[in-house]
Structure 1
């Protein structure tokens, strides 16, 4: 890219300095100039941004194409926002309000920032692994006979600090990537040899290199910049190189902080010989010597460009770029610089070095010698396209609920049969579904789907058991047309894969309907990645089964207690726990619509704003078989199931007690109601399909009334207004009782909340229900106690 008046490297170096200044000033302004009304620390990461300034600038201004996707190191957010501002993708006001309400976010967010964020970052390590799963999803999309096949392949790129490599999910991801033949993925390690609180251990580089090579990655080391390589070619340069290679991390950082005179003293003492090495040092001033020693590979635009452009094939590549934390600032190298900020005197020192006039701190080309040439260079940067890099894909029409009969069944078994029924339709919806599971495909009832739809692999692989005529219920073939992504047992990988697949419409222009299954208790194991996927606004269906102590024989380690509360509290996730197969059919049909919404709501179900924008869905299912309720599904019942509850046995004006259950305890609630009703008491039974949806609607109504809308109401208020105030409520769930215990607060009814508060154990279902007090007998006893008051 030739621009009159300025060379490519010169331009990127100038923009690197400009990004460094803007990032540093952004944090300083937020902490020391903008009024701080509440006195709470604002924070920011001047040093962590500085160490990545050259790498990010070289990527965005020199290497990236519009189809590439980037996960930025969380603590480099200020320099990322600065780069976006220079390209015209961010406005000045957002930088001025960095870390303030409505301003640029502390960590890059694809949902909250207005600049061009591909992947949200913040929880360290997750953005790194997410890029690999995005690459696998790109391969999946391109293997199908869809329009996305014709789009250019993008590289999925993550920039990470070396301290992020302490996160275990990165290594789980490496193993999964190796299994699936990962392609088009770059990880760029900011090897500044400092963590949040100190300096990393010696010898870390060798361990990092060995791990990546073991998983088939190409390893590119960027240790020396062009200035250093030129110095090594001088007489005595080999001694300087040997000294740098042997220098401990802590000492190198300390000398960086102390500056040129300290470098000269140390080098003269240890390798100076009044000959070639001394002459090499003497030819440089203190400032020039400091610049030479700071010219590590990760700060050298020329070296970065050479290595990035040389890595031209689709082989997964990790670049280990040596850097100095705080590079180019007075904080460079100090072990306390992670959370530290420049003082007023230090920011003035930086201002002088960058030639920034008072009142011109935010000007795009302030302090630059060739502003017009830089503007022309930026306009020609390949990545700086005027078109939106966020793609779109039309919603896939749903095919309606798939009802599967009325015989005794569990919701887990019903899920498998519903999915099998969808597979038989060969509809566009069926073609867009992709399933995945952490090594529990069969035990979560995905087997029939996989038998019909096969497993995905980039190349055909025969089922050797079938080929050898060995009988098996799993007739599984790996093929590019397959629609199941087989994962290892790591739940973090499951949620990262669901997140990447759930953004396929935006990243790759092709709609996917991802379904992930796992055991309900192990949601907690991958909760950070689940939260991260929802924060990205990824769209998927999470099916968690088996759940609760109803999985009696497996014991406490495989029994869940808190997962319904996770479903209620997790933003971006609508949570359901149906009891019956027809409820599940309605919910799954609704879920496929909800997952695809982007602003146009179904007016009959838009009880609160989230229904307009859509989101992901979580189903908590059980292995316990229940007798099904003989009934015809109509529009009213379907709507109530989605809103969160309906009357299985409606109240009369004489109602004395309401039994409200969620999920598999339907059997206990129905049995208890029959026994209490046998005493000629009036008992109503409330079938709760979603405590999450009920509670969300109630909260929305209360907020509406608080803001002056006197007509605001909610589904749960309408339901409970039908029972006398003197009636009592008993809630029952195979999970923490707080899930439903709030129902008494809606209209002020006396309430007893039954549930499971402690780790489970082995036994029969009857044993455990009795032990935890969630059986019919306990419900009857609670009703007798309430009615006797």
Structure 2
């Protein structure tokens, strides 16, 4: 039923000639015309390594501060494309209105209602910000256009798309998948992220699963940073990998609106490497002679609950707990599976050891992880942790409440981290189970409360 003309027939020659005019081959090919850029100066990032000396700032404000510094760079600044779907003031970005302006092809044809304020809404033909209105889908299309300009236009534009994190993977996941397929480069910033950090806005806005959904995107690197220096290290490395080394990857970072004191970057050659690979020891216990030991994993804003739990465990229960900052469960999950696959395919060679196993091989005691996301996220690396891992997370619907009440409800606050640690110690026969029962009473925890995952 099918007819194929001979290779030298007029029909086939015509088709071959058309194909040559289109560039030759028969398989799709992306031709990168943009040249690698020079990496931004280290001076842009040094401020964030020093901490805030007790001043409280949110990780969203850290990002905005870093973005404003990069926009002033004479080389890289003109390449940056901030993309915001309506919430610029929510994210504290109104200062950028005056600094770089909002792009409009016709300029500003009206007087904005905030004209009498210092940081008024300023549109301009040469503006850089893409203020898209309440449309994450439209904003994502702009992100894709800017993130593929290195190939389509030969320009290394660097998009930073910041939005309510609940309205990313859940609302426009298909467009994020399309961006990955088109080898888009750039940074997605999930603002007001986590199930318990955006107080009072209920299940519509409180995101506890975007990092779980991010596991599915092959060329996406996902991070949940807790501290200012972690954000600086990740963004600096991301610019290098995407625009200097020309890797076809893109990034997802979650940032919050909770003001907290930012510590200085710890000393040690492994800290920067650990931030990028997914985990590092942030604070070792000062109790070197304690018989009871624990390893606590913290991420994002819940890191501060873990640090409170470390103090309670040491002062009240004589448990020496080391605190680890887990910046990327996805990176640890990917590395663990990469090692498993390599070992399966190379059975007679020396097995590769996952990074998380290398970090924890000499770590004594029990393991407890807490994050503002679903329990499945830390559980995804449990098989490479030397001993059983107890995961605390925010499975379930969000609630309109304050942060303390939300963290109590989802059982991810300091007292629940302490309780989980004591329970793990009792399970390993290191303490009596009665101490766990007493802790439940001491903390005023209702053991009969509804399960937050299904209530």
Structure-1-length-normalised TM-score? 0.49
C-alpha change, 1:377 and 1:702, in structure 2 (3 Å) is closer
| CA positional deviation for 1:743 | 3.6
In structure 1, the residue matched to 2:336 is 698
C-alpha change, 1:510 and 1:671, in structure 2 (3 Å) is same
> Which of 681, 684, 696 in structure 1 is aligned with 2:322?
684
> Which of 183, 199, 206 in structure 2 is aligned with 1:537?
183
CA contact (8 A) 1:378 1:384 kept: no
Q: What is the aligned-residue RMSD (CA, Å)?
A: 2.6
| CA positional deviation for 1:498 | 1.2
In structure 2, the residue matched to 1:643 is 277
| Structure with max Cα Rg | 1
| CA positional deviation for 1:598 | 5.8
1:766 aligned onto 2:407: no
CA contact (8 A) 2:310 2:321 kept: yes
1:526 aligned onto 2:202: no
C-alpha change, 1:782 and 1:707, in structure 2 (3 Å) is same
Structure 1 runs of 4+ off > 6 angstroms? none
Superposition map of 1:584-623 within 5 A: 584-596=231-243, 613-623=247-257
1:418 aligned onto 2:76: no
Report which stretch shifted further, 633-642 or 657-666. 633-642
Q: Structure 2 CA distance, aligned partners of 1:419 and 1:382?
A: 44
Q: Structure 2 CA distance, aligned partners of 1:560 and 1:469?
A: 34
| Greater relative contact order (Cα < 8 A, sep 6+) | 2
> Which of 570, 579, 586 in structure 1 is aligned with 2:217?
570
CA distances 1:501-521 after superposition (whole Å, capped 9, x unpaired): 111111111111111111011
C-alpha change, 1:562 and 1:631, in structure 2 (3 Å) is closer
Q: Secondary structure at the match of 1:658?
A: strand
In structure 2, the residue matched to 1:710 is 350
Q: Structure 1 CA distance, aligned partners of 2:164 and 2:338?
A: 31
| CA positional deviation for 1:711 | 4.7
CA contact (8 A) 2:354 2:384 kept: no
Q: Structure 1 CA distance, aligned partners of 2:402 and 2:220?
A: 32
Q: Structure 2 CA distance, aligned partners of 1:456 and 1:676?
A: 53
Q: Structure 2 CA distance, aligned partners of 1:383 and 1:461?
A: 43
| CA positional deviation for 1:381 | 7.8
1:497 aligned onto 2:142: yes
Which of the pair is proportionally richer in helix? 1
Aligned residues: 409
1:722 aligned onto 2:368: no
Q: Structure 1 CA distance, aligned partners of 2:156 and 2:138?
A: 21
CA distances 1:534-554 after superposition (whole Å, capped 9, x unpaired): 111111100011012211211
1:749 aligned onto 2:387: yes
CA contact (8 A) 1:463 1:476 kept: no
Q: Structure 2 CA distance, aligned partners of 1:385 and 1:398?
A: 33
Q: Structure 1 CA distance, aligned partners of 2:30 and 2:302?
A: 48
| CA positional deviation for 1:661 | 1.3
CA contact (8 A) 1:729 1:749 kept: yes
Q: Structure 2 CA distance, aligned partners of 1:686 and 1:390?
A: 42
C-alpha change, 1:363 and 1:512, in structure 2 (3 Å) is farther
Q: Structure 1 CA distance, aligned partners of 2:206 and 2:230?
A: 23
| CA positional deviation for 1:459 | 3.7
| CA positional deviation for 1:635 | 4.6
CA contact (8 A) 2:97 2:119 kept: no
In structure 1, the residue matched to 2:102 is 455
Q: Structure 2 CA distance, aligned partners of 1:529 and 1:738?
A: 24
In structure 2, the residue matched to 1:673 is 310
Q: Structure 2 CA distance, aligned partners of 1:765 and 1:377?
A: 65
Q: Secondary structure at the match of 1:760?
A: coil
In structure 2, the residue matched to 1:734 is 372
C-alpha change, 1:631 and 1:748, in structure 2 (3 Å) is closer
| CA positional deviation for 1:570 | 1.6
Query: What 5-or-longer segments of structure 2 have no aligned partner?
Result: 428-455
CA distances 1:115-168 after superposition (whole Å, capped 9, x unpaired): xxxxxxxxxxxxxxxxxxxxxxxxxxxxxxxxxxxxxxxxxxxxxxxxxxxxxx
C-alpha change, 1:745 and 1:469, in structure 2 (3 Å) is closer
C-alpha change, 1:568 and 1:448, in structure 2 (3 Å) is farther
Q: Secondary structure at the match of 1:786?
A: helix
1:780 aligned onto 2:418: yes
CA contact (8 A) 2:56 2:260 kept: yes
Q: Structure 2 CA distance, aligned partners of 1:624 and 1:383?
A: 56
| CA positional deviation for 1:458 | 2.9
Q: Secondary structure at the match of 2:178?
A: helix
| CA positional deviation for 1:475 | 4.9
1:627 aligned onto 2:261: yes
Q: Secondary structure at the match of 2:243?
A: coil
In structure 2, the residue matched to 1:471 is 117
| CA positional deviation for 1:462 | 6.1
| CA positional deviation for 1:690 | 0.8
Structure-2-length-normalised TM-score? 0.83
| CA positional deviation for 1:378 | 5.2
Q: Secondary structure at the match of 1:639?
A: helix
Superposition map of 1:35-46 within 5 A: none
